[in-house]
Amino acid sequence: MLDGVKPRIGVLALQGDVREHLHALEACGADVVPVRRESELAAVDGLVLPGGESTTISKLLEVFDLLEPVRQRLRDGLPAYGSCAGMILLASEVLDTRPDMKPLHGIDMTVRRNAFGRQVDSFEADVDFAGLDGPVRAVFIRAPWVERAGDGVEVLARVPAGPAAGRIVAVRQGNVMATSFHPEVTGDLRVHKLFVDTVVRPRAGV
């Protein structure tokens, strides 16, 4: 933590692998809370959108009256990180999804849902990740990939080999980050630490 600052980071707790993100963020020194209500969203310094089922989470955001509040907080500069379904939700455009799925427009990118195939096509790979020492073990589960990254979007990682070699699987725009893989399930905390540091810096005046 910078200057002893302990950020409060919320994990959107409507569906998906919420618990794994809570544990990873807590291990990185954050004050972590599940977010299901607008009042809880208003109290956090950063937000994680977990893996799960993107169309279901999108629908639940509306059911819980959180869709527009989350969009507004992102427009206001809230740091956010999305993994897998969270990447899909943070996109400005989503391919191969239901027409009623409503993205959050957190990153200027086009994401293809389930790009790597179905559950049986899930796989792991070591990927180089910008800003981190050594490769990250990436777990892809019905994962998306980024087909278009806007001018202001930094590409952090690509698939290193195989039929999908070169596909973009991690990006950042400002203080919003997304990965198509699940670092919360590997025990490697470096991606979460990178996000926690992103949340801390503006609060610490860095």
Instruction: Report, as an integer, the average pLDDT of 19-45.
Output: 97
**68 catalytic per annotation:** no
Instruction: Give the DSSP H/E element, type plus range, for residue 190.
Output: helix 190-204
**What 3-state DSSP class applies to 142?**
coil
Within a domain: residue 3? no
Q: Is residue 20 part of a domain?
A: yes
Q: Is 70 exposed, middle or buried (0-12, 13-18, 19+ CB in 10 A)?
A: buried
Q: What is the mean pLDDT of the chain?
A: 92
Has residue 117 got a pLDDT over 80?
A: no
* Residue 92, both tokens: 């400005």
Catalytic, out of 20, 21, 28, 84: 84
Buried b / exposed e over 169-199, threshold 16 CB at 10 Å, is: bbbbbebbbbbbbbbbbbebbbbbbbbbbbb
Please compute, for residue 156, the number of CA atoms within 13 A of its CA located in the half-sphere on the CB side. 23
Q: Is 147 a catalytic residue?
A: no
If pLDDT is split at 50, 70 and 90, which confidence band does 203 have? Answer: low
How far apart CA 108 and CA 116 sit, in angstroms, is 21
Whether 182 sits among the annotated catalytic residues: the reply is yes
Give the strand pairing for 80-83 and 46-49. Answer: parallel
Q: What pLDDT does 5 receive?
A: 66
Question: Global pTM?
Answer: 0.93
User: Does 1 reside within a domain?
Assistant: no
Encoded tokens for 179: 């990965």
Q: Residue 86 sits in which domain range?
A: 8-204
In-domain check, residue 2:
no
Q: How many structural domains compose the chain?
A: 1
Q: Which of 20, 21, 28, 184 is catalytic?
A: 184
- Tell me which of 20, 21, 28, 182 is the catalytic residue: 182
What are the DSSP E strand ranges found in 13-90? 31-35, 46-49, 80-83
Give the CATH number of the domain where residue 88 resides.
3.40.50.880
Neighbours of 26 (CB within 10 A): 13
